[in-house]
């Protein structure tokens, strides 16, 4: 009986040590699955950084992930690597265009610590303003007429149109000596 108590105590102590050790050991983070199919974004970005960039792009266009990315119904999740939607390729072209504009006109396209173009340059929102397709707006003309303050050839307000007979002249085609209008 004395032996059973010793085995029970030793087993209990061993189990306590194992439980405490497992609680105190720092769990190793699971390595992230590598990002696939990055063609214009820097390859060194983490999942969190790509999510941030994509969030900014989506907000600039007023869209959600499904605008550029297809949904894999069999897996019940978005297939971010797929190039099935033409909008994704258009986004790549637009990003390259933006980088080119910034390099040419804005301090050689300065980049932030992630390798992304700084917001002090042209970005998606510059043109899109929260719309998936930028609206072409043409300002309405201010109108035509004489410049303010008058200018050579400008008629004073209330003056007859150019080519009209002066006030009090007989109407065109009236016989000579006909009474004047007025």
pLDDT in tens, 112-168: 777 766 656 788 998 999 999 988 888 888 777 666 666 565 566 666 666 666 666
d(CA 180, CA 174): 10
Residue-range definition of the domain harbouring residue 118: 47-128
d(CA 137, CA 134): 9
pTM: 0.56
Which residues lie across from 59 on neighbouring strands? Answer: none
Which residues lie across from 117 on neighbouring strands? Answer: 111
Each residue's pLDDT tens digit, 138-149: 888 877 766 666
Lowest mean pLDDT among 40-49, 52-61, 85-94, 115-124: 115-124
| Mean pLDDT across the chain | 80
Asked whether residue 138 is domain-assigned, the answer is: no
Q: Tell me the DSSP string of 102-152.
A: HHHHTGGG-B-TTSPBPTTS--HHHHHTT-SSPPP--PPP---SPPTT--T
Mean pLDDT within 91-112:
82
Contact 38, 45 (CB under 8 A): yes
Asked whether residue 92 is domain-assigned, the answer is: yes
d(CA 102, CA 95): 11
Angle CA 132–133–137, to nearest 5: 135
Contact 45, 53 (CB under 8 A): yes
75 token code pair: 């897996």
Asked whether residue 65 is domain-assigned, the answer is: yes
Asked whether residue 115 is domain-assigned, the answer is: yes
Asked whether residue 108 is domain-assigned, the answer is: yes
**What local confidence, expressed as pLDDT, does residue 181 receive?**
56
Contact 45, 60 (CB under 8 A): no
Count of structural domains within the chain = 1
Asked whether residue 145 is domain-assigned, the answer is: no
Asked whether residue 160 is domain-assigned, the answer is: no
Please give the backbone phi and psi of residue 72, each rounded to the nearest 5 degrees, phi first. -90, 100
Asked whether residue 30 is domain-assigned, the answer is: no
């Amino acid at each position: 009986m004395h032996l059973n108590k010793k085995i029970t105590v030793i087993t209990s102590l061993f189990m306590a040590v194992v439980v405490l050790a497992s609680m105190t050991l720092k769990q190793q983070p699971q390595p992230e699955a590598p990002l696939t199919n990055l063609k214009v974004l820097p390859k060194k970005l983490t999942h969190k950084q790509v999510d941030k960039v994509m969030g900014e792009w989506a907000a600039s266009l007023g869209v959600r992930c499904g605008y550029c990315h297809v949904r894999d119904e069999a897996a019940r999740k978005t297939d971010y690597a797929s190039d099935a939607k033409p909008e994704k390729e258009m986004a790549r072209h637009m990003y390259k265009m933006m980088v080119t504009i910034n390099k040419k006109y804005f301090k050689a396209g300065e980049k932030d610590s992630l390798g992304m173009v700084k917001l002090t340059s042209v970005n998606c929102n510059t043109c899109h303003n929260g719309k998936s397709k930028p609206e072409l707006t043409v300002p309405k003309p201010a109108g035509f007429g004489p410049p303010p303050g008058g200018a050579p050839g400008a008629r004073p307000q209330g003056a007859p149109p150019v080519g009209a007979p002066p006030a009090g002249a007989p109407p065109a085609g009236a016989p000579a000596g006909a009474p004047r209008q007025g």
